[in-house]
Structure 1
């Protein structure tokens, strides 16, 4: 909604910033100069004893020299009342006696109609409160007293009573001149289908007024005194004022308390909210008799980025929590989430606080679980995953849940968190990359450092540990540790075609997988026929001392290593091809061509050495890694000599 030109200027002209701020602070008369509009007070935005909050009333701005909060009257109302811009303007306009501009020609008519209905609901609030003091409400008062309601609490929440009579409330309010049609429209009374005389909508019930964020009474909730009543709690039906799916009990006071730093707590009912507020948890709200709706969830996120949902510890409470998880998943975004407190079975916040005090409630709030934990609990609790099929079914359910998260970044973080919990469930010995001694870095359990099979057994499984087997093993292990690098080295991996059958099978799996979480990929391979190949790979002792596989978590360093290893394998294979060609030429070489053959082999060895030693050491005789190439070189020369003797 846009405001007409000059509206805000007129609002500022009619309103004094000092008056607006003065409702929230106590001025320091020693520092303030009221005549000049130069006012000082302790800051309402942070705890302090000295007056560092400065208001320049004539300029219309404030500034705190302690926390550096600054702004005008609109921003002050927004911060202290925890409301949006238009709501802050509306609050100030109402106080200044200004009418907010309407959106369309019919809006004024609707606003006038709602104003009339609000007068009716306010009159009903007063009537119900008076009825609570009558003899007819003796049982209701006794019940409230047993629930710990003192007079101050009854007054604060304006709790009342609807007498057990067909039309007592209707007659009392019409007797005061209120329009009968408005009483029916506001659902204080109901009209029979046969057109008979209206009757009271609430009878023999304790009444809880429901107010919107602006403080208007928009409806009522009633608790039946008769244990045989068809509905223990009854809310107003939908009216022009009241939409129970878009309202929250105690909305306005909770919003203000949350704006001052209190955690927003979502309870199930009126009594829970009242008990929480009495115990000092003033930012408490409740939906109105139904499961939380999407509109209510958005209202909660306007009050707080991370509301805490406190649910009864029974099956109904858990079902409500799970429904809320499903509702919230598509709406999640960075910085907007939920945390959950599941109370002890058979207790609600009111029961817990009355039995064990506010400290017990605070202890639970301090341990509130993130929503991802509740999602995991729903999919795993009470189940056994002792077969690949059951694990696969779990994975499928989790994937479907994660797909519902619209924010890609948040979806990735959820996937990471679930992967961690999955590892803890399926492979408790798998602690992720950890260094020796418990420091981050070493792969524990069935990991590299322990080397499940001795080196001799590993040789028996994987074949001779020649240089290429070691290098392909390092490449495969690196890609399992950093699967995000698979896409960058897909062509090289496809061309690699390891000679070791286990490595070749693992490479094919990496080329076909879409998993990019290392723990999930590890578990995926472990649950497949490639488990033995993976264990053989992890048993290679040289991997246990590779720094970035030990958990340093440096993908750039891992990428550099991969690039070097692929080059080294290419170089090694190149010299093999050169030697094969040279061997084929041995039978036809002449004495004059000896030096040419020697030069070719020497250059091949030197090329391999240059690839294996990027720093460029020139003397190949100093390095053990060239022993294989030198041996092949000398064998070829020896064969060449034998060939020439034979020909001679």
Structure 2
């Protein structure tokens, strides 16, 4: 089977040689430069330990300085997979989404139509550029000047103008003896539905040539000069040359600039890209009138492992960013992600660079946020999580998004990052509007009371002591942490060391309890734990004297959390009552205080259930029923053993 040369050129253009080779080799990180497409590895064709096998991803060729093997993606697949030329082509075509041409014995005899189409497109570029210099294009030149583009800039970007005429391009190309089917095949004209001459696709528009990675003009983008035109921007229709979802504006120059170390920036439109490039950000590209597609995303990652998405600072721009996140999540790989630089509201990169200059853009690029932060922002911004149901809905939504990530390592890191962000959102913090607890005047403390542990700890002594017991019990038995996650989140922890230990428990003990101690030592050092275990009331905690007793630890933590909650509830009721007493007092205040005090008293008593059954004696005292039964049996035995019985 013969293949048209244009097909193989397109196949090589779409294939990433470094990705094809990367399946067979381990890259040398010290010698390789992924941003420049300059990759080195031990040769897969002969045994060696040094990295003498070189891949030039931009040119699409490999060469081994040891065994002198060389070739392109097709030859590499042939050699490593032991397949024929056509089988190698079919493998690469499937990977790049290209359809193999139908078998045609006369294919070799046919002219390469793609090459002919590319030649016609170059003629169109020159025609549009000449039209920009005519008198009819004066408003277009004024518009471009108002956008900061002088004559030299227009020449650099090959900007042109399509006259407000029905057959200007058609007549020009036909006058050059260009075949009608080629003009129509380029998308430069459309057939008339009334039986007349075909008419030009672009009329009264500023024209931007769209070139592929190899520099061939494959399409045009036209900006309407008529404000009443329904289509402000119009792209060429899809042709044999142009696949909108697989092309990027400024692809070739951006790849070169990114190879020299510039950050790859993805903007929305032609003018954004031109403004960024003119301002010094040469590695700028744009999708072509649609949201970024999966194929375009793969093209971006072939240029740079972490492109920066610079979208307009309006709702439409933010929605586009969110759609891109959903597209990118399943495709993430180690070292391959996205960052987002959100423009100020109502501005695009072109506006920003013209109003505030390149430093303002650079500042936004430096502050670009990772994808996980924007994912979190989407699920939480403008929402209130004041109920368990709303928090559960947030958790569910985030879990569903994280499940889309195929790479298990990245999925794990996303889960940990989301957990950290969740903790920052729900962590205990003073509630606005909370009333200051009422304080009853106290008599002066005695010298003995002043030296006690409770007095030394200050006003929050009781909470401090109970929090210490809770933290120590869970650190000793981390497998119970998940059961008490909500209670841990509510701990205020005025002591910085206690707060740090609480955070480590919430971040690590829930999912990986066995690693908790190692994480604490690695992140906090030994001091906070030594300080915690050095407290006398912690040292005498029953569950710490019986390490590994899960049931005892559960009862200890549950009891201490209940006591803390009851104490805080009583303080809140006292504060409310103190405020109410400034008005007309009634029995409701007394009842509320009594209920709160009773709740505190119940919690203060041990919550371990006493399953013993009691009877009331003649004097009103309670007697253990089992002990009473055993005592009666003993008396009967004694009485039966007496003489005469």
8 Å Cα contact 1:309-1:341 kept in structure 2 = yes
Rounded to whole Å, the distance in 1 between the matches of 2:263 and 2:229 is 36
Taking the aligned partners of 1:413 and 1:274, their CA distance within structure 2 comes to 37
Q: Match of 1:260?
A: 260
The structure-2 alpha-carbon separation of the partners of 1:268 and 1:85, relative to structure 1 and needing over 3 Å to count, comes to farther
Give the corresponding residue for 1:307. 307
1:566, 1:181 → 2: CA distance?
90
Moved more, 305-314 or 152-161: 152-161
Give me the whole-angstrom Cα distance separating, in 2, the residues matched to 1:132 and 1:305: 38
CA distance in 1 between counterparts of 2:319 and 2:502 reads 47
Contact kept, 8 Å, 1:82 with 1:303, in 2: the verdict is: no
Shift of 1:89: 6.5
Residue of 474, 477, 486 corresponding to 2:475? 477
Aligned partner of 1:643 in structure 2 is: none
343 and 479 in structure 1: CA distance in 2 versus 1, 3 angstrom threshold: farther
CA pair 295-567 structure 1, distance change in 2 beyond 3 A: same
| In structure 2, C-alpha distance between the alignment counterparts of 1:451 and 1:393, rounded to whole Å | 40
SS of the equivalent of 2:116 reads helix
Residue of structure 1 in register with 2:634 after alignment: none
The verdict on how the C-alpha distance between 1:319 and 1:83 changes in structure 2, with shifts beyond 3 A counting, is farther
How far off is 1:552 after superposition? 2.0
**Aligned counterparts of 1:167 and 1:419: Cα–Cα separation in 2:** 62
The corresponding residue for 1:20 is none
SS of aligned partner of 2:226: coil
After TM superposition, give the deviation of residue 192 of structure 1 in Å. Answer: 2.7
Taking structure 1 as reference, are residues 165 and 89 closer, same or farther at Cα in structure 2, changes over 3 Å only?
farther
CA offset digits 1:363-392 (Å, max 9, x no partner): 111111111111011111111111212111
Structure 2 Cα separation of the partners of residues 268 and 244 of structure 1: 14
Cα shift readout 1:39-67 (whole Å, capped 9, x = no counterpart): xxxxxx9xxxxxxxxxxxxxxxxxxxxxx
Tell me whether 1:411 sits opposite 2:427 in the alignment: no
Name the counterpart of 1:341: 341
SS of residue paired to 1:342: coil
- Retained in 2: the 8 A contact 1:266–1:286? yes
- Asked if structure 2 preserves the Cα contact closer than 8 Å seen for 1:341 and 1:368, the reply is yes
Cα pair 2:475 2:517 within 8 Å, conserved: no
Q: What TM-score results when the alignment is normalised by the length of structure 1? A: 0.58
Residue matched to 2:520: 551
| Aligned-residue offset at 1:569 | 6.2
Q: Is the 8 A contact 1:310 1:343 kept in 2?
A: yes
- Report the secondary structure of 1:219's partner residue: strand
Cα distance change on mapping 1:149 and 1:555 into 2, 3 Å: closer
**CA drift at 1:421:** 1.3
Q: Give CA deviations for 1:468-519 in whole Å, capped at 9, x if unaligned.
A: xx7x974533454xxxxx4xxxxxxxxxxxxxxxxxxxx4x84xx7xxxxxx
CA distance in 2, matches of 1:387, 1:287: 42
Which residues in structure 2 correspond to 1:501-580 (within 5 Å)? Answer: 507=480, 510=482, 522=485, 524-526=486-488, 548=517, 551-553=520-522
Change (3 A) 1:217 1:552: same
Q: CA 1:144–1:475 in 2, change beyond 3 Å: closer, same or farther?
A: same
Tell me the distance in 2 between the aligned counterparts of 1:394 and 1:224.
44
Report the equivalent of 2:208. 208
Asked whether the equivalents of residues 379 and 398 of structure 1 are also in contact (C-alpha less than 8 Å), the reply is: yes
Match of 1:425 in 2: 425
Does the CA-based 8 Å contact 2:131-2:160 persist in structure 1?
yes
Deviation at 1:425, TM superposition (A): 1.2
Distance change (3 Å), C-alpha of 1:262 and 1:475: same
Note closer, same or farther for the CA distance 1:341–1:109 as it changes in structure 2 (3 Å cut). farther
SS at match of 1:551: helix
Corresponding residue SS for 2:310: strand
* 1:48 alignment counterpart: none
* CA 451–90 in structure 1, closer or farther in 2 if over 3 Å, else same: farther
Which consecutive residues of structure 1, in runs of 5 or more, have no partner in the other structure?
Answer: 4-44, 46-68, 94-100, 431-448, 481-485, 487-506, 514-520, 574-645
Residues 198, 254 of structure 1: alpha-carbon distance in 2 compared, 3 angstrom cutoff: same
Q: CA 1:259–1:543 in 2, change beyond 3 Å: closer, same or farther? A: closer
Would the alpha carbon gap of residues 428 and 138 (structure 1) be closer, same or farther in structure 2, given more than 3 Å must change? farther
After TM superposition, give the deviation of residue 196 of structure 1 in Å. 3.4
Q: Do the aligned partners of 1:451 and 1:539 also contact (CA within 8 Å) in 2?
A: no
Partner of 1:590: none
Alignment of 1:136-147 (within 5 A): 136-147=136-147
The 1:457/1:323 distance shift into structure 2, 3 A limit, reads: closer
Match of 1:376 in 2: 376
Q: Corresponding residue for 1:32?
A: none
Please give the per-residue CA displacement for 1:191-233, whole angstroms capped at 9, x wherever unaligned.
1345432110000000000000001110000000000001000
Conserved? CA contact 2:477–2:548, under 8 Å: no
Given that 2:161 and 2:206 are in contact with CA atoms closer than 8 Å, whether structure 1 keeps it comes out as yes
Partner of 1:282: 282
1:179-328 matches, cutoff 5 A: 179-328=179-328
Question: Is 1:543–1:549's contact at 8 Å kept on the other side of the alignment?
Answer: no
Asked whether the 8 Å contact 1:452–1:539 carries over to 2, the reply is no
Aligned residue for 1:6?
Answer: none
Aligned counterparts of 1:372 and 1:198: Cα–Cα separation in 2: 51
* 1:116-142 deviation per Cα after TM superposition (whole angstroms, max 9, x unaligned): 110111110011111111111111111
User: Judging changes above 3 Å, is the alpha-carbon distance between structure 1 residues 146 and 566 closer, same or farther for their aligned structure 2 residues?
Assistant: same
Residue by residue over 1:599-634, the C-alpha shift from the partner in whole angstroms, topping out at 9 and shown as x without a partner, is xxxxxxxxxxxxxxxxxxxxxxxxxxxxxxxxxxxx
SS of structure 2 residue aligned to 1:311 = coil
Report what 1:174 is aligned to.
174
Matches within 5 A, 1:8-23: none
SS of the residue 1:221 aligns to: strand
CA distance 1:153–1:108, change in 2 (3 Å): farther
- Does the 8 Å contact 1:82/1:255 carry over to 2? no
* Cα distance, 1:330 vs structure 2: 1.0
**Kindly tell me: are residues 388 and 327 of structure 1, through their superposed partners in 2, closer, same or farther at Cα, counting changes over 3 Å?**
same
Paired with 2:275 and 2:502, the residues of 1 have a C-alpha distance of: 59
Measured at CA, do residues 454 and 233 of structure 1 come closer, stay the same or move farther in structure 2, by a change above 3 Å? Answer: same
TM-score (norm: length of structure 2): 0.58
Change (3 A) 1:368 1:292: same
Matched, 1:150 2:150: yes
